Structure 1
Amino acid sequence: MNKSLIAITVAAILAGCSLAPAHKRPDLPVTQQWPAGEAYKPASPLAEKRSASEFGWRDFIGNERLAQVIQLALDNNRDLRVSALNIEKARAQHGVVRAERLPHLNASVGQTAQRVAGRQSSDGKGYITRQYSAGLGIPAFELDFFGRVKSMSEASLQQYLGTEEARRAQQISLVAEVANAWLTLAADQERLRLALDTLKNQQITYELAKRRFESGATSGLDMYESQSSAEAARNDAAIFRAQVAADENALILLAGTRVPAALLPQGSLQAATSIADLPEGVPSDVLLRRPDVVEAERTLQAANANIGVARAAFFPSVSLTAFAGSASNELSGLFKAGTGSWSFAPQLNLPIFAGGANRANLEIARANRDISVAQYEKAIQLAFREVADALAERGTLDERLASQISQAEAAEKSFRIHEARYQKGAESYLNALVSQRTLYSTQQGLISARLAKASNQVTLYKVLGGGWK
C-alpha cells in the first residue's frame, strides 16, 4: 500500500493540464509617443532614455529633511501598513488554494465500541465488542486531469501578485503625497512670512498717515486707506497661520507619527526645493511598468485562469480516498502480524445535467475576462492622460515662472517709486496703495508658480511609475 500512496502523490504532481486560454497582453491602446505641441517642451535629441521607475525615491528627493519625513511615512503610514497586510493575507489565501494540488495525508487512531443485546448472545446477558484501528489516509484527493485545481491556483497566484503591485503603487503615491504636502507647507510658510512683512509695512504707513492727518497735513482718506490695507494684511496673516497649522496636521497624518520640528521646511520654498529632473523622451510603453497597470494585468491573468476553472467543470472529475493501517479487536494486538488493513475508493463524477449552470458560469468567466481587458486598457489610457497633462504643465511652467519673476520685480520697483513720492508728499496714498496691492499679489503668485514647478516634478515622478525602493 505504501507504493500506492507514492503513486498517488506522483500522479497528483504530474497530472493536470490547464484549459485556461493563454494570456496575451492586449495591444497598447495609446500612441507610442507622448503628445507634442505648443504646450509641450520638445525632448532633447540627447535626452536620457532611462525610465523614472529606475530612479529610487532617495535619488529623486534631494532635500534630506524631506527624505527623512518620507521615511517616517514609509515606516508608520497606516494605509501602507494595510497594503502590506493585504499582501500577507493574499499570500496565505494562495497557500490554501495551492495546497489543494497535493494530496492531504491524515493520521488516525480510533476505537469503535458496540454492545450486543442479551438475546443475541449465548448466555443471554449480552456483551460489548471493541474494534481498534490506526493508520494513514488520503481523503478525497482530486486528480486534476483537466486543470481545475491548477487554474484555481493560478488565479489565486495572480491575485496575490496583484496585491504586491497595489502596495508598490501605494508606496509611490505616498512618497508623492508626502513630498507635495511638505512643499505645500513650505509655500504656506513663505506666504505667511510675506503677509506678516506686508502687515508690518502697512502698520508703519498707517502710523505715518495718522500723524499727517492729526497735524492737518492730509485728509482722513489716506489714513483710512492705509488702515484698510493694514487690516487686510492682518486678515491674510491669520488665514495663512491657520493654513500652516493645517498643513502640519496633514503631514502628521501622512507620516503616521509626529514629525519633529527639525524636519519641517526651513527658509523659503525656493531654498527648500531640491528635486531631481526626470529624463525626457521616454516612450509611452514605460506605462506598462507602472504598478497600477501591472496590477490590472495581474487581474486580467486571474480572469483568464478562472475561465480554465469554468471549462474544467464540463469534464469528469476523479477523486481518490485511500487508507492503510492496522485493525484489531484488542488494543494490545493492534500492530501484530495479520492485523493490516487497507481501503482504496476511487470515485468518478461525470456531469450530465446541471440546468445550464456550467455554461452560465463559463459565460460569467468570459465576461469577467472581457471586463478585465477593458479595465486594463482603461488603466493605460488613464496613465497616459496623467503623464500627458503633467508634461503639458511642465512645458509651460518655465515660461510662467519667468513671467512671475519679471512681474514681481516690476511691481516692486513701481511700489518703491510711489511710496517714496507719497512720503515726500508729492502724491496721495492711493497710488502707493494700488501698487502695494499689485506687488503683494504678484509675490503670492510667484510663490504659487514655484510650488507648481516643484509639485509638477513630483507628479511626473508618480505618474511615470517612479522607483519605489
Structure 2
Amino acid sequence: MRRFSLMAMAVAMLASGCTMAPKYERPAAPVSASFPADGVYATQPGAGDGGARSAHGVAAADIGWRDFFVDARLQRLIDIALKNNRDLRVAMLNVQAAQAQYRIARSGLFPALAAQGSQSKSRTPADMSLLNHTISNTYSVGLNASWEIDLFGRVQSLKDQALAKYFATAYARKAAEISLVSQVAAQYLQVLQADDLLAVTRQTLKSASDSYGIVKLQFDHGAASELDLSQARTVMESAAANLQAQERARAQDVNALVLLLGEPMPDDLPGGMPLDGQKLLADIPAGLPSDLLLRRPDIMETEQNLLAANANIGAARAAFFPSISVTGSFGTLSPTLGGLFKAGSAAWSFAPAITLPIFEGGQNLANLDLANIEKKIEVAQYEKAVQSAFRDVADGLAARGTYDQQIAALERDTAAQQRRLELSALRYRQGVDSYLGVLTAQQDLYAAQQILIVARTQRLANLVSLYQALGGGWIERTGDVPRAVDARDGDSPSRG
C-alpha cells in the first residue's frame, strides 16, 4: 500500500517537475497572539520617562547597537569582540563549511566531465597470438562523462536539504553575534556594578574606621564601654573583608570580559559612563509574538532545520524508485602513440544504466520512517524555540514594568537609612542611645546601598536582554541596511 502511494506520488511529481518532498507548511505558533498586558505588565516605561532616551517606536531589530548603547567605552568593547571573539569566529567558519557542503550537494545535479589519457601494454603467449604479435600497446585520449538523471528528485532533495542546513548555520551565526553583543554589554555592567560596590564599601570602611577611632579614644578615656568598642570594630572588619571579596570579584569580572573580547583589554579605551548614567533605550515596543518569527535568528535557524528534514523525506521517498545514470566517453584509440589523432582513430562509448530496488531488507522503508520521525523532532524543536522566545520577551516585559518603581523605592529607603545613621550618631554623641543603634544603622545603610546598586544593574541587564530577545543587536547603526546572514562569506546562494 505504501509503495502504491509512493508510485502515485512519483507520477504526480514527474508531471509537475518537483521533488517528492512534502509540501512545507510552517507549524502554528504555540503561543498567545499577544504578550501579557495586565498586572506587572501594565506599567511600561514611556517615551522620555524620567529623562530617558526614547526609541521613538522603532523595533529592536531596526535599532543599531551603537544607538542602543551610548557609552563610548562599551561601544569600543563590543566592536573589539565582534572582530576577535573565538566563538563567533567558529560560528562564521561553520557557515563557510555548510556553504561548501551545499556546493557539494548541488554538484550532483550536473554531469561530471573528465579528461583522460592512458597507455597500456600487454604480452600474449606466442601460441595464442595472431601473426606472432606477442606484445601489444594501446594508447587512448578522450573525455569521460557521467550523469545521474534525477527523474525522481533524489539529488534535488539532497541539494535542498544542504541549502536549508546552510541557512540554518548562517542564522546560528547571526544568533551568536547578537548574543555576543548582549554578553559583552552584560559583563561590562557587571564591572560597573563592581566599581560601585567597591566605592560604597570603601566609603563604609572609611566611615567605620573613623567611628572606631572615635570610640577607641572614648574607651581609652573611660567614656565608652568595651562592648561599644567591639561593636565598632565589627562594622570595620566586616567592610574590610567585603572589600577584598569585591576586589576579587571585580578582577574576575574583568577576566570574563577579556575572554569575550578575544584579546587583552586595550590601554587606549575611551572614558566610560557610570552605572546610573548608561541611559539605555527603555521604551522599545514589544510588537506581537508573530514578529519574533522573522526577527529572532534562533527561531529562523530551527525553521531551516525543519525545512532540511522536510527535504530529506523527499530523498528517502525517491530511493524507492529507479536510479538512472548515463556514462559515456569520446576520444581516440590507437596501438601507437603517433596514431592517436589520425583519421579513423575516433572511439566512443555510451552506457545508460537503470537500477531498480527490489529487495533491500527494509532499508528504504526504515530510512523513510527515520526521515519522518526526524521531521517531527524538528517540528517540536521549532515550537519550543517559539515558546522560549515568547517567554524571553514576556520575562523582560515583566521586569521592565517593575524595576523603575522598585529602584525608586530603594532610593527612598537608602536616603532614609542615611538619615537614620546621622540621627543615631547624634543621639550616641549626646549620650541618649548606646552605640548599638549606630552599629545597626551603619549595617542597614550599607546593605541598602548594595541592594540599590544590584537592582540598578539588574534593570540595565534586563533592558539588554530584552533588546536581544526582540531581535536587536545585528546592525551597527539605526537606519543601516541589515546584512545577509552570510554576508561575510560571499553572496547567499539562491533557492532555485
Paired residues for 1:17-416 under 5 Å:
17-42=18-43, 50-121=58-129, 127-139=134-146, 141-261=147-267, 263=269, 266=272, 268-271=274-277, 273-289=278-294, 290-416=296-422
Letter in 2 for 1:259: M
> When the two structures are superposed, what TM-score results if normalisation uses the length of structure 1?
0.93
Q: How high is the sequence identity, in percent, across the aligned residues?
A: 42
1:461: which partner in 2? 467
- For residues 428 and 264 of structure 1, the distance between their equivalents in structure 2, rounded to whole angstroms, comes to 49
Confirm or deny: 8 A CA contact 2:280 2:460 kept in the other structure.
Answer: yes
Change (3 A) 1:416 1:459: same
Q: Post-superposition shift, 1:262? A: 5.1
* Higher mean displacement: 143-152 or 419-428: 419-428
Q: Which amino acid aligns with 2:24?
A: H
Q: 1:332-357 CA distances to partner (integer Å, 9 max, x unpaired)?
A: 11011111010000001111222222
Aligned equivalents of 2:102 and 2:242: distance in 1?
Answer: 56
Alpha-carbon shift at residue 60 of structure 1 (Å): 1.3
Counterpart Cα distance in 2 of 1:268 and 1:425: 40
- C-alpha distance 50-284 of structure 1, shift in aligned 2 (>3 A): farther
| Native 8 Å contact 2:286 2:393 kept in 1 | no
Decide whether the 8 Å contact of 2:182 with 2:465 is kept in 1: yes
Deviates more, 1:22-31 or 1:288-297: 22-31
| Aligned residue type for 1:89 | A
SS in 2 for 1:105: strand
Other structure's SS at 2:39 match: coil
Q: Deviations over 1:204-249 (max 9, x none)?
A: 1111101111101121111111011100010111110101101000
Q: Please give the alpha-carbon distance, in whole angstroms, between the structure 1 residues aligned to 2:128 and 2:379.
A: 72
Contact 2:417 2:445 in 1 (8 A): yes
In structure 2, runs of 5+ residues without a counterpart are 1-15, 48-54, 476-496
Q: Distance in 2 between matches of 1:48 and 1:255?
A: 31
Equivalent residues, number: 453
Summarize deviations over 1:18-41 as a string: whole Å, max 9, x none: 010121111111111101221113
| AA aligned opposite 1:297 | E
TM-score normalised by structure 2 residue count: 0.88
The alpha-carbon deviation at position 426 of structure 1 amounts to 3.5
5+ residue gaps, structure 1, are 1-14
- In 2, are the aligned partners of 1:49 and 1:281 still within 8 Å (CA)? no
| CA deviation vs aligned residue, 1:133-155 (integer Å, no higher than 9, x gap) | 0001113x210001000000000
Structure 1 counterpart SS, 2:112: coil
After TM superposition, give the deviation of residue 422 of structure 1 in Å. 2.2
Distance 2:402 2:365 in 1: 56
Instruction: Flag the 1:176–1:118 CA change in 2: closer, same or farther, 3 A.
Output: same
Shift of 1:42: 4.5
Compute the RMSD of aligned alpha carbons: 2.0
Change (3 A) 1:40 1:122: closer
Q: Map Cα deviations across residues 53-72 of structure 1 (whole Å, 9 max, x no partner).
A: 11122221111110100111
Q: Distance in 1 between matches of 2:288 and 2:279?
A: 26
Q: In the alignment, residue 348 of structure 2 is paired with which amino acid?
A: W
Residue 6 of structure 1: aligned partner: none
| Residues 1:231 and 1:261: Cα distance change in structure 2 (over 3 Å) | farther
Shift of 1:119: 2.6
Cα distance per residue 1:188-212 (max 9 Å; x no partner): 1110111111111111111110111
Instruction: Measure the CA separation in 1 of the matches of 2:216 and 2:272.
Output: 37
CA distance in 2, matches of 1:267, 1:45: 23
| Cα 1:306/1:278, change in 2 over 3 Å | farther
Residues 49 and 347 of structure 1: is their aligned pair in 2 closer, same or farther, counting only changes over 3 Å?
farther
C-alpha contact (below 8 Å) 1:291/1:465 kept by paired residues: yes
Q: 1:228 to 1:265 in 2, by over 3 A?
A: farther
Contact 1:132 1:334 (C-alpha < 8 Å) held by counterparts? yes
In 1, the alpha carbon distance for the partners of 2:121 and 2:178 equals 65
Deviates more, 1:311-320 or 1:418-427: 418-427
The 1-side partners of 2:240 and 2:271 are apart by 23
